[in-house]
Amino acid sequence: MQIINNPNKESWSKILKRPTQTVGDIEGTVNQVFNEVSERGDAAINQYTYKFDGVSLDSQVVTAEEITQAINEVPLKLQNAIKLAKLNIEVFHTAQKTSKIAIETTNGVQCWQEKRPIQKVGLYIPGGTAPLFSTVLMLAVPAQIAGCKEIVLCSPPNKEGELAPEILFAAQLCGVTKIIKVGGIQAIAGLTFGTETIPKVFKIFGPGNQFVTVAKQIATKYGVAIDMPAGPSELLVVADETANAAYIASDLLSQAEHGTDSQVILVATSETLINEVSNQVATQIEVLPRKAIAEKAIANSKLIYVENDSLALELIDEYGPEHFIICSKNEDLYVHGISNAGSVFIGDYTPESAGDYASGTNHTLPTNGFSKAYSGVNLDSFTKSMTFQKISKEGLLNIGETIELMAEAEGLQAHKNAVTIRLKDLK
């Protein structure tokens, strides 16, 4: 990891640059896949599944028999762990339900707001080097709580043309209505346009690599909403001399093992701690099964020393991390002061892994600085807010002239007439 001492503010943007390609670098490939899926449907999906995943499938749809077999293959102890994690996620997301908001703004003018579920949602579950069955819980549980009617899950198959049994177990546990063995750009394109096999959805959720992230952004050009541009994973830890270097190193490596394009950063007010963490990373990485992946991510990562907490907070807000861990005696300063972060983890005994799996918060979070404007996935992500109003005769008499004056001032005579014609009958 690169150690940077007390960088000046002018260099922050360069230092904090993500190790990702720009949209322009891969947009051409994504557009090509989208065009072919739009024109040829499943035939194009199968072509690209063979090209990118190296497998040819007779059917993309997971059968009931495959799900039954998968359930039998998941050890009972792991099944129980998944069920406990699901319960905690349900508890936290159910608490996010809001009741109908109703108000009489003026005598006779009633306005209210209600939530309605998005009817058709697509869930993208990364596969590849690590089939993320935990993401099934994070997306399907709130979709089910929200009341989404169609929950379509897409995930890339392995070389045998199968999905991990844990993914299938979690999917059936959480009420997924259709499971498709397709990943990457072609999965997002399928959910965007619909094919003979893949239903067209109204909103697409889920993290993915840079190609999936760009594909989701391009999907919005075709009228499909997305949760957020959630790309390669990232973590920033802030710490001082009171922090445990071994704990911090384990957290940094937990994100580094996600993928070679992941990024982890330590911002510390102690130079001694930085050296200790660097040594711990070097030691702990040696025993990781995914050492090769973690090493490449660590090469893109940084240990940054700053003089004080105020400067550290300013730098962190500039970065806008996906995951933010606070290991400092001044934790209140960071908790109350942070504006830009996807999810915050406080104290020595709150590893980021807890949020990834079982504490109850959602791990589908904005990356690449999008935490400055986007929220992580939550219950409201699967709903729409609809407003209603009902105006009585008294109400229209109270606000009618206001509407007429404003419509006339904007030059919209028909708008004015819609009120005037009613007022004449009331006077």
What is the tens place of the pLDDT at every residue in 78-119?
Answer: 999 999 999 999 999 999 999 999 999 999 999 999 999 999
- The third-level CATH classification (topology) of the domain covering 23-102+117-227 is Rossmann fold (3.40.50)
Give burial (CB, 10 Å; 0-12/13-18/19+) of 305. Answer: buried
Distance CA(145)–CA(179), nearest Å, equals 19
In the structure encoding, which two tokens stand for residue 396, read together? 């229209």
Domain ranges across the chain = 2-20+232-360, 23-102+117-227, 392-426
Burial readout 382-414 (b: 16 or more C-beta within 10 A, e: otherwise)? bbeeeeeeebeeebbbbbbeebbeebeeeeeee
Structure confidence at residue 20 (pLDDT)? 67
Low-confidence ranges of the chain (pLDDT < 70): 20-23, 128-129
336 labelled as ligand-binding?
no
Q: Which of 207, 210, 256 is nearest to 364 (CA)?
A: 207
* CB neighbours of residue 236 within 10 Å: 26
Structure confidence at residue 43 (pLDDT)? 97
119 labelled as ligand-binding?
no
233 labelled as ligand-binding?
yes
- Model confidence, pTM: 0.93
Burial readout 157-189 (b: 16 or more C-beta within 10 A, e: otherwise)? beeebbbbbbbbbbbbbbebbbbbbbbbbbbbb
209 labelled as ligand-binding?
yes
251 labelled as ligand-binding?
no
Domain 392-426 grouped into CATH 1.20.5.1300: yes
Q: Do domains 23-102+117-227 and 392-426 have the same CATH topology?
A: no
Q: What is the crossing angle of helices 133-146 and 165-173, to 10°?
A: 10
Structure confidence at residue 229 (pLDDT)? 82
CATH value of 2-20+232-360 in 3.10.129.10, 3.40.50.1980, 3.50.50.100, 1.10.730.10: 3.40.50.1980
Active-site residue set: 322-323
Structure confidence at residue 59 (pLDDT)? 93
Structure confidence at residue 130 (pLDDT)? 73
363 labelled as ligand-binding?
no
Structure confidence at residue 95 (pLDDT)? 98
